[in-house]
């Protein structure tokens, strides 16, 4: 048997591809902590369930549902109105507002909450204004309330509704409107029955995304002392050292999130109703007169003032004040380096591990290949505290020696954010014709060379885009980082939260500002996509 034959024999025996077993291994990393959480929750005795219900769930469930409803209504209101204005009307300033409206996505909820907490703090700007107008400061509405939390979370999350609704409205065929006009339908009816009804799937999908963020939010509710599941899980795990109770609460949280996720999934499948093919004409935006232009500009400006300009300016002011007052905090460099390090490792791991799973999902058929992708995508709908609980339970049972290792943080980031890499890589790979790879193989290149010199260069941008988004999400991530970081290992997000919680407003400003700046990077990718929807190329 010649060397060549041996090699060939070996390959036959070993099978065609290592990708599937490799992907199973990666999916297992995601699945095991989830399974551990589920298992712990299932084995919880009914007595504990009862106690949890009396002490926790009785408060948490109505709190969460109330929050979901109020944030839902507010995000729909802001998201649909703004999307409607920028797609159906033409006015001065539209070009800027169109993309500026997504700026709040760069601000994590806890940063916005912290900024407003400082603004409305005793002796702060807000109290000054209030007392000069109304006098009695004690009557000023408090941020630390249901409405405070609702407003903050709505301002942070309305862009999801805005983005998806806008895309759907842009793609609507004007023909339906023309038909409706010819049969004499009044304007408000056309708006409701055609535009909104046809954008329905997109609106619901956007709403579900926003509400999933609300479910996953930890920083805002914890900072504003509004008890919800994430905060309760965190407390159960870190303050009471009760992993069973934490797992049980996580189980309930995940159940609610899964309902939301499946609503989104269901509507994403048919994000837009099938529109007639052939002659496709989009709406020509109606030009607004001066008065209306003024009204529309003011409205959007006010929304963005509250969601972005005021809090971010406040951060800038506080950061400068802080430096002027007590000098530059040298620890800040270390926090930044820590953050960049864990985020870079997290994003790189997520990007690399996603490749085989995204590849087999895009290229191969079969339930197993699709299932691995689904399992590996679960993490995105799991709030950070849930993932942290899962990892801690797994470590406690199987890998006790790993306790306190930074590796746990990386695993959490991979579980939570690899779905982003997966999605971006999956769509990039799907865009590359399979015949490219086939051509390379028939031209004598092996599987590895084909990946290296054909597929990789063609999907590099997709991998990179995914990397950037994951990197920034890791920077912003708060609860899992808090629960899993090694002792005294502080990141920017952790500093913002801890300083804000202790009302050290100025100390938190610089880290918060840096997080917002980093958060602006992935928005460039979204804006580019928005440009493509408009038919404008931004390069």
Write out the residues near other proteins by the rule CB under 8 A: 8-9, 11-12, 16, 365, 433, 435-436, 438-447, 453-454, 457-458
- What count of other Cβ atoms lies within 10 Å of the Cβ of residue 99? 17
Residues 6+ apart with CB under 8 A from 26: 353, 356, 357, 372, 376
Residue placing its CB nearer to other proteins in the complex, 181 or 370: 370
What is the C-alpha separation between 190 and 200, in angstroms, rounded? 14
> Which of 273, 306, 298, 309 shows the shortest CA–CA distance to 85?
298
What is the C-alpha separation between 52 and 46, in angstroms, rounded? 10
Residues 6+ apart with CB under 8 A from 366: none
What is the C-alpha separation between 46 and 205, in angstroms, rounded? 36
Shortest distance, CB of residue 446 to other proteins, whole angstroms?
5
Shortest distance, CB of residue 428 to other proteins, whole angstroms?
13
Give yes or no for a contact between 75 and 209, defined as CB atoms under 8 angstroms apart: no
Token readout for 378 is: 């679960």
Residue placing its CB nearer to other proteins in the complex, 15 or 122: 15
What is the C-alpha separation between 369 and 22, in angstroms, rounded? 11
Residue placing its CB nearer to other proteins in the complex, 54 or 438: 438
Shortest distance, CB of residue 536 to other proteins, whole angstroms?
21
Residue placing its CB nearer to other proteins in the complex, 168 or 440: 440
Residues 6+ apart with CB under 8 A from 117: 143, 223, 224, 500, 503, 505
Shortest distance, CB of residue 7 to other proteins, whole angstroms?
9
Residues 6+ apart with CB under 8 A from 500: 110, 113, 114, 117, 118, 223, 508
- What count of other Cβ atoms lies within 10 Å of the Cβ of residue 339? 25
Residue placing its CB nearer to other proteins in the complex, 11 or 287: 11
What is the C-alpha separation between 244 and 375, in angstroms, rounded? 24
Residue placing its CB nearer to other proteins in the complex, 5 or 47: 5
Residue placing its CB nearer to other proteins in the complex, 39 or 456: 456
> Which of 504, 482, 484 shows the shortest CA–CA distance to 493?
482
Shortest distance, CB of residue 90 to other proteins, whole angstroms?
34
Q: Which parts of 51-185 are beta strand (E)?
A: 89-90
Residue placing its CB nearer to other proteins in the complex, 455 or 508: 455
Residue given tokens 């040298």 in the structure block: 330
Residue placing its CB nearer to other proteins in the complex, 129 or 443: 443
What is the C-alpha separation between 476 and 494, in angstroms, rounded? 9
Shortest distance, CB of residue 465 to other proteins, whole angstroms?
17
Residue placing its CB nearer to other proteins in the complex, 279 or 435: 435
Give the SS3 label for residue 273: coil
Shortest distance, CB of residue 434 to other proteins, whole angstroms?
9
> Which of 198, 193, 162, 188 shows the shortest CA–CA distance to 77?
162
Residue placing its CB nearer to other proteins in the complex, 190 or 364: 364
Shortest distance, CB of residue 11 to other proteins, whole angstroms?
7
Shortest distance, CB of residue 350 to other proteins, whole angstroms?
25
Q: Where are the alpha helices (DSSP H) in 434-484?
A: 434-442, 447-450, 456-476, 479-484
Shortest distance, CB of residue 421 to other proteins, whole angstroms?
21
DSSP states of 180-194: HHHTT--HHHHIIII
Shortest distance, CB of residue 353 to other proteins, whole angstroms?
25
């Amino acid at each position: 048997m010649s060397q060549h034959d041996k090699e060939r024999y070996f390959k036959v025996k070993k099978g065609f591809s290592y990708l599937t077993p490799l992907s199973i291994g990666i999916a297992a990393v995601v699945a095991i902590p989830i399974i551990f959480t589920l298992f712990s929750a299932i084995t919880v005795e009914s007595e504990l369930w009862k106690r949890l219900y009396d002490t926790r769930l009785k408060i948490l469930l109505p709190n969460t549902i109330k929050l979901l409803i109020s944030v839902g209504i507010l995000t729909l209101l802001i998201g649909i109105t703004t999307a409607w204005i920028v797609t159906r009307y033409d006015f001065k300033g539209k070009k800027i507002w169109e993309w500026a409206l997504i700026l709040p996505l760069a601000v994590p909820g806890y940063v916005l909450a912290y900024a407003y907490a400082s603004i409305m703090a005793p002796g702060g700007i807000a109290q000054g204004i209030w007392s000069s107008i109304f006098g009695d400061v004690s009557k000023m509405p408090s941020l630390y309330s249901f409405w405070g939390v609702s407003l903050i979370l709505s301002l942070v999350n309305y862009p999801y509704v805005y983005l998806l609704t806008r895309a759907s409205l842009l793609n609507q065929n004007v023909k339906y409107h023309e038909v409706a006009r010819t049969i004499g339908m009044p304007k408000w009816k056309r708006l409701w029955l055609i535009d909104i009804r046809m954008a329905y799937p997109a609106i619901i999908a956007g709403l579900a995304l926003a509400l999933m963020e609300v479910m996953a939010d930890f920083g805002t509710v914890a900072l504003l002392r509004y008890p919800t599941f994430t905060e309760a899980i965190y407390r159960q795990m870190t303050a009471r050292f009760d992993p069973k109770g934490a797992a049980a609460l996580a189980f309930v949280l995940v159940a609610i999130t899964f309902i939301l996720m499946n609503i989104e999934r269901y509507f994403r499948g048919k994000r837009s109703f099938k529109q007639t093919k052939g002659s496709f004409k989009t709406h020509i935006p109606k030009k607004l007169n001066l008065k209306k232009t003024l009204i529309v500009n003011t409205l959007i400006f006010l929304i963005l003032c509250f969601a972005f300009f005021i809090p971010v300016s406040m951060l800038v002011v506080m950061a400068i004040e802080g430096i002027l007052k007590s000098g530059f905090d040298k620890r800040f460099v270390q926090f930044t380096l820590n953050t960049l390090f864990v985020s870079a490792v997290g994003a790189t791991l997520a990007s690399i591990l996603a490749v085989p799973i995204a590849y087999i999902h895009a290229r191969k058929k079969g339930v197993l290949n699709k299932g691995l992708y689904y399992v590996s995508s679960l993490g995105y709908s799991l709030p950070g505290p849930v993932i942290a609980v899962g990892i801690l339970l797994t470590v406690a049972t199987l890998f006790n020696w790993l306790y306190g290792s930074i590796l746990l943080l990386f695993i959490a980031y991979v579980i939570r954010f690899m779905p982003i890499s997966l999605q971006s890589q999956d769509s990039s790979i799907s865009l590359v014709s399979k015949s490219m790879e086939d051509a390379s193989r028939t031209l004598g290149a092996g599987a590895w060379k084909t990946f290296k010199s054909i597929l990789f260069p063609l999907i590099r941008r997709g991998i990179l885009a995914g990397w950037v988004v994951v990197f920034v999400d890791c920077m912003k991530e708060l609860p899992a980082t808090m629960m899993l970081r090694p002792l005294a290992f502080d990141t920017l997000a952790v500093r913002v939260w801890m300083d804000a919680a202790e009302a050290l407003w100025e100390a938190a400003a610089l880290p918060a500002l840096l997080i917002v700046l980093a958060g602006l990077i992935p928005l460039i990718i979204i804006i580019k996509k928005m440009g493509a929807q408009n038919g404008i190329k931004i390069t």
